[in-house]
Amino acid sequence: MKTAIVTGASSGIGEAAARRLGGDGWRLLLVARREDRLKALADSLPDASYLALDVTEADAPQKVRAAVEERFGGQLDLLVNNAGGSWRAPFAEGGYENVHKTMELNFDSPVRLTEALLPLLRASAPSSIVNVASIAGRVARSTAGSYGASKAALIGWTDSLHLEERSGGVHVGLVLPGFVSTEGFPQESLKRNPATRWIVGKPEQVADAIVAAGPGGRAERIVPRGYAAFPFLRIVAPWLVRRLSG
């Protein structure tokens, strides 16, 4: 039976990914901070256990690896680096501290966790890693510079890691959500407006993209797919994107 880790699994995209993978017959290790939410989710799935921790803690990668070795016998077929967050503020107000804490969660943590688990993924090959970034890593938004920078770093690192690991059978895929309605990002203003309601995606769509970019072997998935126009415009007409974003 295939085994997978999903971080940020207590709600939103992580929960949807866990339900999708669990429904497909995967054995799961769910990772997030909220133990009550993790336990409820694990109990609702066919074969899932959980580990409640903060992925930014210094010993978090070692704890996750120990759990994989104990519960899966060291087999790991899929790592979904989904945990993340955002603290919106103009740089003049949030400063370096906001950049630092956002990078620590959205970039440093998946890098550190991947480093700890890569030997297990290599030993279990063919296997896969999916990093959940964001369209914000390709197209900037005001007051979200810290978030966009963290996701841009994740995108660049993902592309490089794919090139390094593909010969050994570890596929590294990337998922770029746009506006997706979750507990942390409810998108209420967009959903209330008939003119913008259509651009808001669902966590289940991202879960499908995670499967496609992981075991499905695809390089990259954008959700909703219409958002692919924005990175394209950023390349061919950056002045227009800046004007529209402003």
Nearest-angstrom CA–CA distance, 217 and 129: 10
Residue 68 sits in a domain whose CATH number is 3.40.50.720
- Number of independent structural domains in the chain: 1
Q: Residue 231: which domain range?
A: 3-245
Question: The whole model's pTM is what?
Answer: 0.92
Longest dimension (CA), the chain: 53
Cβ neighbours of residue 208 closer than 8 Å, sequence gap 6 or more: 20
Task: Report pLDDT digits (tens) over 100-145.
Answer: 999 999 999 999 999 999 999 999 999 999 999 999 999 888 898 9
- Single out the catalytic residue among 50, 96, 147, 227: 147
Task: Report pLDDT digits (tens) over 195-235.
Answer: 455 567 789 999 999 999 999 999 999 998 876 777 676 67
User: Could you tell me which residues are beta bridge partners of residue 81?
Assistant: 131
Q: Is 147 a catalytic residue?
A: yes
